[in-house]
Amino acid sequence: MRKPHDITIDRTLLIYVLHLAESKEFSMVSDVKLQHLVFLAALQMLGKGLRGFHYEFMRYPYGVFSKDLDNDLLAMRKKEQLQNFDVVGQSEDCLPLLEAAIPGVEAHEQIMEIIQTVVDTYGGQDLGEIAKSVENVEISAVDKPDEKLLILDIPFHTMMLVPSRIEVTGELTLPPKTISQLNRMLSL
């Protein structure tokens, strides 16, 4: 279960992903595409021993799905922090706070670089292309790292990614004052 500061970080990073996609004029046609982008970023982070996002993902017929990510999107839209996939209102003010916390912390810089690379690589793909990209990812169980499975071959409703169960060497952490400011902006 995510802790309150995890939710703050997740929502702030989600705003960052949407901001990047919007700045590159990539079309976010559905929540599914956003779910795929966040999954790909989280998976790459964890593969490098880093944790940015705290979302757990399951295998679904259309690729991957995180209930927490879906709930965050719904809550942010309800609070008018997102309008469809556009960052609006006080949520826009989260970006400078996030960007100020990045320089000089290697793990933070690597996490942001991964997000940028994922958005650059997959953000321009249409829904079918990105779904295929996700389904072609090979993953392995923590206890069987040599056995690789394509996501396409994993049964539906199987829990695939649980960041809290994976040991990392670096994580996106923010000072309490920054978390407090972000919480006010995100109405948390």
Q: Give the pLDDT confidence of 131-156 residue by residue, as tens digits.
A: 999 999 998 876 777 888 889 888 89
Res 62: pLDDT: 83
Res 59: pLDDT: 93
Between 22-31, 93-102, 106-115, 176-185, the lowest mean confidence (pLDDT) is in 22-31
DSSP β-bridge partners for residue 58: 65, 159
CB-count burial class (<10 Å; 0-12, 13-18, 19+) for 102: middle
Structure token pair of residue 69:
């990510």
* pLDDT tens digits along 64-74: 999 999 999 99
| pLDDT band at residue 61 using 50, 70 and 90 as cut-offs | confident
| pLDDT band at residue 52 using 50, 70 and 90 as cut-offs | very high
Res 166: pLDDT: 87
Q: Please, are residues 52 and 45 in contact by the beta-carbon 8 Å criterion?
A: yes
Res 165: pLDDT: 87
Res 27: pLDDT: 86
Res 89: pLDDT: 86
Average pLDDT (172-185) is 95
Residue 7: pLDDT above 90?
yes
Res 53: pLDDT: 97
Over the chain, what is the mean pLDDT? 93
Average pLDDT (115-138) is 94
Average pLDDT (35-63) is 95
| Residue of 121, 115, 131 lying closest to 12 (CA atoms) | 115
Res 97: pLDDT: 94
170-171/50-51 β-pairing: parallel
> Tokens 């989600």 appear where?
14
Sequence spans of domains, the chain: 4-185
The pTM (predicted TM-score) of the whole model is 0.94
Helices (runs of H) and strands (runs of E) counted in the chain? 7, 9
